[in-house]
Structure 1
């Protein structure tokens, strides 16, 4: 085998390994926070061949709708995304998610702003499947006023914006603890070792052993049996945290499963092409050097 072909095959092999690691390896925590972790049963979507569990996505949407959306929005997500292939309410009978009656019902439960074409007045109307999830608050000032001065982040791509992705969401939701002795936490704030922060100015203990984590205005949002799952799953805090983390991971990239399948197919094609190229090389140049 020539040096050129050897280098080509090695490069393809390294590319395949790098792509696999890029998909499967969780992002590392930073900023002084504890390293986020997955629930003990793991997440089905992790890894290069992982896929989302539709039942878990449906449960996660329920937690988002009944708990998280009281303060947070997901304005980059359209209602029709819920009914697309791989989504929580996909039904193969409705190839077009806009025709999915369940998605239509979900959308109709929300009010979105619009304009009366006859009068020009601002109005609200029931959402349609083509609409995005509406904002929870009219503006930033209203959001802060309703949350003790804190601005709840939009959750559309929160798993892409935080180190650890779904693992971070799960760890944060289940990680609230009483602050260590010596850590001053202001009223209305809550200590969480998975929240990135700098606690040195609030720490009166050994300056060389400042606790990891940070404080946030959100109180622990989950408790056992806070929601009732339609499939009969026990709604423990850990179960709800895992389910909503999975839903938010899907919401941040609804086409993730398709992208993984495409990536694997491309890698297989490249490996086959490399083999054919080598075979052609052997056929054409055999015995000529």
Structure 2
């Protein structure tokens, strides 16, 4: 019998609020695609995920994702939320699991020490044209002088394509005031799902970066927590800035009004010093 729950993903242990909510349906095998779409459209939450039995032998579960009522291949925080929910409600044990996506692809999830980690693809990088950088500056109020030296904006394609932009200080990050119509147009032109602006100045000791995420192309002006874009940022720092770190703690949502504190952990999967891709994770709890 289908059960439904609301979980917040990427929560901060010490904060009572925050994270990013997802609407979860467990044991959803009896639902048709039309049923799932109708439920997703009716939900007051942007992200809805249906957990079903897989159709291929090497997967443990099939997850069907909807964002703003539309089917999407995969989304990070609903995955984190779904596995935490299965742990709480179905006594899912810690360990490694595989999930089937709507296109038949299989991706891997690890549940360990109360956190869920989702693999992302090895990133591909693309330098944006200067005209596109200037358009983003115009749409957000950021100037070239605000950017971190030698950290020019970059297009990063891992699970999805996004833009990474670094600013020098927390004050510069706070001051960003987007024109969302302009950002959406730029998103459409560049085929990105969103923009992650970051600074090395942080709210919490132990974090590596504080960030703001804007994703008007998918109906989210400012997102409280995005594992996909946090993964893109970590790849950019690890791969292109040649960081010696292989694990990154990324805070999000602190500068929203009201604040929605969120925390994403990203570690780099390597084999014989070859970078395979990011693993993005965090905690989730019932709303």
Shorter-chain TM-score range: under 0.3
TM-score, with normalisation over the residues of structure 2? 0.22
Q: Select the structure with the greater relative contact order (CA < 8 A; seq sep ≥ 6).
A: 1
TM-score, with normalisation over the residues of structure 1? 0.22
Higher helix proportion (structure 1 or 2): 1
Which entry has the higher C-alpha Rg, 1 or 2? 1
Higher strand proportion (structure 1 or 2): 2
